[in-house]
A and B are shown apart, each in its own frame.
Chain A
Amino acid sequence: MISNKTNIQSYIKIENNEIVLNGTSVFKTEPTDFADFAKQAYRNFEMQYPKFFKMDALSKLAFLGSELLLSPIVSAEKENNIALVLANKSSSLDTDVKYQESISDKENYFPSPAVFVYTLPNICLGEISIRHQLKSENSFFIFDAFNGEFLSNYSNILLNTNKADLVLCGWTEFFNDNYKAFLCIISAAENENYKNENINTLYHK
């Protein structure tokens, strides 16, 4: 396999009630819970996608990040071969717990189908794919901690084997209202902006 150089094209971080796009703060709220923060961000960027409100917190987090990175580059005219590679530590545990609570009382047993459908972490990849009509590779991994080397290597393999033209990869962690998202777009296109950076350095910046 010929390994071509790949470059980070853009990145986004979402944590502590703030969204930072390519190193610039583009949205910030007063301290609030994630549900409120996510709703304010959705309104601020005029996303016009009512299904957003039906998503669980993990999907909302991944959706917000991906929306700001993908919307400027996704084409409505042609197929977009953009792979999605995300990871986190808590999987879908936040929603799993909510679902478990809804079925724990035998006398009040009303499992919610709308909650149940989000009891897998890779559902957020489906939400992003539906939004942007992507029919490309996608994978969700679980790690004890952010693993930039893995994400970088996996993305490079997808690009170097022509499985994807671009890769959206990163970390989307959510549990008990603690959250952090770091997403970036990687491709073979030249980009001098982050030539001295890698996924790890940008994540920890």
Chain B
Amino acid sequence: MEALKAELKNKIITTLNLEDIAVEDIADNDPLFGDGLGLDSIDALELIVILDKDYGIKLVDPKEGKSIFQSIETMAAYISANRTK
């Protein structure tokens, strides 16, 4: 799980072009949106693409995203339980 969390942090920084943020700056329970990393709605769509492309998870109900993308912790837990690749 720890490796997956580190992988997710790297993917988010690279894919979302978070130029001024390092892996060490993201705590596992930091909110990804709002006051945390400050991601926006387009970033949320990119996170859905990451789930599909890298972990074979198709998010059918976008409402699920709100709980899945709360933090690195929640993302990693969801991916671990649902990944197909």
A residues contacting B by CB (< 8 A) are 39, 50, 53-54, 110-114, 117
Contacts and interface: CB of A to CB of B under 8 A. Distances in A.
Nearest to B48: A113
Nearest to B21: A50
B23 to A, nearest CB: 16
Contacts of A39: 19
Interface string B35-58: 000100011011001001100000
B16 A110 contact: no
Interface of B: 15-20, 38, 42-43, 45-46, 49, 52-53
Contacts, number: 30
B42 A113 contact: yes
B43 A114 contact: yes
Contact of B19 (A53, A110, A113, A117): A53
A50 B18 contact: yes
Nearest to B43: A114
A162 B52 CA distance: 51
19 contacts: A39-B19, A50-B19, A50-B20, A50-B38, A53-B18, A53-B19, A54-B42, A110-B49, A110-B52, A110-B53, A112-B49, A113-B42, A113-B45, A113-B46, A113-B49, A114-B17, A114-B43, A114-B46, A117-B42
Contacts of B20: 50, 53
B40 to A, nearest CB: 8
Nearest to B41: A113
A113 B20 CA distance: 21
A39 B20 CA distance: 11
Nearest to A117: B42
A5 B49 CA distance: 53
B49 to A, nearest CB: 6
B36 to A, nearest CB: 14
Q: Which 5 pairs across A and B sit closest by C-beta, in order of nearness?
A: A113-B45, A53-B19, A53-B17, A110-B53, A54-B17
A35 B84 CA distance: 35
B16 A54 contact: yes
B19 A112 contact: no
A53 B38 CA distance: 14
A113 B47 CA distance: 10
A177 to B, nearest CB: 18
Given A50-B19, A114-B45, 8 more contacts: A50-B38, A53-B18, A54-B16, A110-B52, A113-B42, A113-B45, A113-B46, A114-B46
